């Protein structure tokens, strides 16, 4: 496949996408191969760069983790995350395992816009004054408040688990994805091999988590950095979106 005599190969990545659908978060590994295939036909021969070869080797090494763990038990809690302009915060509230499993069934199932917001929208979003219906550029792609998730966000007693300022403030959407990954890290350290729900008010972060990757390189790098926790701890997280007014992690 990586012949030293002829450093070319027919570029087929559809089979990798089908394999990684069992663990969608691993789709973030497919970065350079998507760029190399963009604008080409299926019959084109593509020269493999050194970096692209490393990407394929990473897929070969990690493909045993691309499976769905049906034995992962529901965690007895729900997390809520937020990332304003100063840092990230993670909160937790207790739930029964039956309630947790039911909440995961009503999680976001499709990704909409997963790119970084523009400068003006990013500023408005960081200061909490961007209306939810204006967060995504395409009309009709916005998420709607799910009454189940809104009820869980408003009716439970949440405790702050993590609140830390940025050393260097990133783009607002990068920070929102980072907050979600920090919630995974907390869950992994205490309850490995579980499935749990995460409440957030970022439509971009929810879409990136559900898709498993993003067209934005910065967001994709964040998702890739979270893979060791996601795979090593064998945690399965489900994202739910609520409006900023209902997000319990907004206070910390």
Can you state the percent helix, strand and coil of the chain, rounding each to 5?
A: 45, 15, 35
Residue 45's contacts (CB-CB under 8 Å, 6 or more residues apart) are: 8, 9, 10, 11
- Written as six digits, the tokens of 98 are 């039956």
Q: Helix, strand, or coil here: 178? A: helix
Token pair 């394929």 in the structure block, residue: 56
**C-alpha angle 150-156-158 in degrees, rounded to nearest 5:** 110
pLDDT value at position 37?
Answer: 75
> Quick one: pLDDT at residue 4?
43
What pLDDT is recorded for position 252?
60
Contact 183, 224 (CB under 8 A): no
* Separation CA 70–CA 81 (nearest Å): 26
What's the rounded Cα separation, in Å, for the pair 83 and 80? 11
DSSP symbol at 67: S
CB 174 within 8 A of CB 243: no
SS3 assignment, position 144: coil
Flag residues of the chain having pLDDT under 50: 1-11
Contact 206, 132 (CB under 8 A): no
pLDDT of residue 13: 59
pLDDT value of position 119 = 85
Return the structure tokens found at 122.
């990013």
């Amino acid at each position: 496949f990586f012949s030293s005599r002829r450093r070319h190969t027919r570029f087929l990545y559809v089979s990798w996408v089908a394999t990684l659908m069992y663990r969608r978060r691993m789709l973030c590994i497919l970065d350079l191969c998507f760029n190399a295939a963009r604008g080409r036909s299926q019959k084109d021969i593509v020269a493999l760069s050194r970096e692209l070869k490393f990407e394929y080797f990473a897929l070969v090494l990690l493909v045993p983790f691309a499976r769905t763990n049906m034995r992962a038990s529901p965690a007895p809690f729900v997390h809520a995350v937020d990332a304003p302009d100063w840092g990230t915060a993670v909160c937790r509230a207790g739930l029964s395992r039956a309630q947790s499993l039911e909440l995961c069934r009503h999680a976001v199932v499709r990704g909409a816009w997963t790119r970084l917001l523009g400068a003006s929208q990013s500023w408005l979003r960081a200061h909490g004054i961007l209306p939810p219906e204006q967060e995504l550029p395409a009309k009709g792609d916005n998420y709607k408040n799910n009454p189940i998730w809104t009820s869980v966000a408003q009716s439970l007693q949440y405790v702050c688990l993590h609140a830390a300022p940025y050393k260097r403030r990133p783009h607002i959407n990068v920070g929102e994805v980072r907050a979600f990954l920090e919630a995974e890290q907390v869950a992994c350290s205490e309850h490995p091999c579980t499935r749990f729900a995460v409440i957030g008010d970022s439509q971009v972060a929810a879409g990136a988590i559900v898709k498993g990757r993003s067209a934005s390189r910065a967001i994709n790098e964040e998702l890739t950095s979270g893979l060791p926790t996601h795979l090593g701890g064998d945690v399965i997280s489900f994202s739910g979106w609520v409006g900023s007014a209902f997000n319990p992690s907004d206070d910390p």
